[in-house]
Amino acid sequence: MRFVRPVVTAVWLVGAAVPSAIAQEAIFIVRHAERTDRSSDSTLSAEGEARAERLARHLRDAGIDAIYSTSFRRTLGTAAPLAEVLGLDVQTEPTLGPDPMGSDDRVGRYVEELVARLGERHGADRVVVVGHSNTLPALLAALGHPEPISIAGDEYDNLFVVLPQPEGAPTLLRIRF
């Protein structure tokens, strides 16, 4: 039930958000890798660090122009190997706040600001966004994906590739890595 409200909020934002994000060539959306514990700002476990390295290997030749992450250590740790390989800085604005699993309104505002930023700054770019199990479904909905997506608490292997279309819903690829 805690995922329903952010998704409903995100779907409400779709009308305003999709036109500004439609210019992206591709948006790669991934949840942070495995974490050491359930604390609010945990680091990546050894398994998570290995997954972050795999992500960097998979995307190093994908023509990535920008990387966005929340400011939590587990998301930054997931983005870091790819950023290093590509020589890019990880963008952490807009910020999500101290607890990514907190307020549904905060998640909705974060997603709305992120979609606007992608549209304003990244025209026809290929962008990676590293987020959380509750921000990713809301982001996918805000980008126009019509079907609800859920990510279980123990799922860290999802990579979504959003290919905006000039008309209608984007093409969405869900890859396990």
List pLDDT tens digits, range 63-115: 999 999 999 999 999 999 999 999 999 999 999 866 666 567 899 999 999 99
Can you give the residue range of the structural domain that contains 162? 4-176
For a pLDDT cut of 70, what percent of the chain falls above it? Answer: 83
Determine the pLDDT at residue 16.
Answer: 41
- Please give the Cα distance from 67 to 92 (Å, whole number): 9
Q: What is the DSSP letter of 170?
A: P
CATH at residue 56 = 3.40.50.1240
Scan for tokens 């948006």, then name that residue: 27
pLDDT band per the 50, 70, 90 thresholds, residue 123:
confident
- Residue carrying the six token digits 């972050």: 52
In Å, what is the CA distance from 140 to each residue of 39, 66, 89?
26, 18, 23
Residue 8 clears pLDDT 90, i.e. is over it: no
Lowest mean pLDDT across 2-6, 108-112, 131-135, 173-177: 2-6
Q: What predicted TM-score, i.e. pTM, was given to this entire model?
A: 0.85
Burial 73-110 (b: 16+ CB within 10 A, else e): bbbbbbbbbbbeebeeebbbebebeeebeeebebbbbb
As for how many domains the chain has, the answer is 1
Q: What is the pLDDT of residues 36-63, one digit of tens each?
A: 999 999 999 999 999 999 999 999 999 9
